Structure 1
């Protein structure tokens, strides 16, 4: 059961050793409460409960806190028990999915709840971080096309420095950390610095964003494979030839800027001019938009629609499935509604 209480201006006593209690102390202070800390049961006296409305008892493994619950009952003070904070001095790379909070995994939510510091990207779901990572220091290191206020090496330095200071650091990234997210570089930097590091995989936008537009990246008797490509820089002629010969579906991330070179290169490599292409902008946002054309005309169509990043390109026959998939989803939703009414 989750309860929400307004503790603004109220006094809260957090009982537990400093390392185990640091998350609770930070969270209650952020909520506006006046926080008293009690780090050892040997220092407890009933007078410490005067004026206190809530006691947070941290499970720090010390059996000496047994007298605290009875004292709270006698003084009419509410007591809540909380698990100890995760040890600091480590980094967790967290995949935030395509940008919607709904697609954060249980592991991602747990990591954010335990975070002391969060370094986040612009494509990660960051608008509610003050709630998802209560009390954590939130640092925007998001890169935008042509504008990198915090370079990659500086991000890695900041993460390592913060972890060495004893913090539980979360690096929140859009999509999955290991899909064009430079997660491998960050893991290597932490390992080289001797900082413990772990990875929480995320839902990759390569699959999720086309799905948001009703486009399956594979479909029976249409496409039995898909290839994910970075569109950050133009591909070589050899790469165009390889892609055109693979068949299946091509999904391009960060590809709006290089769309003209990609379309021309695939045509030179022999891909059909009428191959369907979709540009899905701002997947899962309120302003999500899909522009559909064929390979011969997609550059003109995208320019006319003023397509911009962030966007995912989908090239292949599966684009034609978008309408039927949306219709099936609507039919299933209607059926579910009728069953609930029955």
Structure 2
């Protein structure tokens, strides 16, 4: 498999996942502010910080932030930019993905630039964001059902779960940090609503409440434990890292537990650290500090992925599937792109 195909598969998935995450947090925040009074500094600026945007020059009002995170083509983290980037990656590797997958991605890319999408955004904001969420879910379903489950599919999975890990950590970190500005707010209805919003931002509200618990436990601690450590929830940090390990092992051709490439090693180190913690360890260390370790670890894994699989100067490592490393030719590596590592 040539490096440029792997890179396009990986980033196509990440951009799709990023669009869904952005839509979800915008929708949840919009709904939360309809029901509760939230201090101005806790309303919309945290959503920019979750996406890594710290230098937004305009006032962080509802309309400004929603338009910037939805329609601004110059913002690489906006929904329209993410879907356009996902579609462009798919276009380049049309021979690898299924025809049904390309058709659906192209359809929604055109829909985003149509008057109908703008009209829905203006008239029914919640339904608009729900439609964006369904785009990613539909494309992933089509991918699993119609795409051969070989190396391109594994890179697609790898990108999805790596992006999810980072987004869950960022959402929990930023929103939790904004929650505890005043000790007297803890335990109030607004505080409880914020924790619900955190769960909904990660699609975890129903799974969280359906999971049996023994004894009384603080809501914040329970939510943090669920989003970090739950082994069954598909967006928890632990589960996403486990999925990343599986995809990385399939790509490198070696069984899980025997790291070979730098990607395997960095991912294994991060997953081992997370698996070795408990919620009490995280509280003792500090939730922000623990989640920073996760986010920084994901960035390190992303850099390792580029250097190991996408950099045109790299010679592949020896794997069980191919005992003799083969140097990539100029034809194989031509056109490889460097994507945003955000």
Based on CA coordinates, which of the two structures has the bigger radius of gyration?
A: 1
Structure with the larger strand share:
1
Structure with the larger helix share:
2
- The higher-RCO structure (CA 8 Å, 6+ apart) is 2
Q: TM-score range, shorter-chain basis? A: under 0.3
TM-score, scaled to structure 2: 0.21
TM-score, scaled to structure 1: 0.21
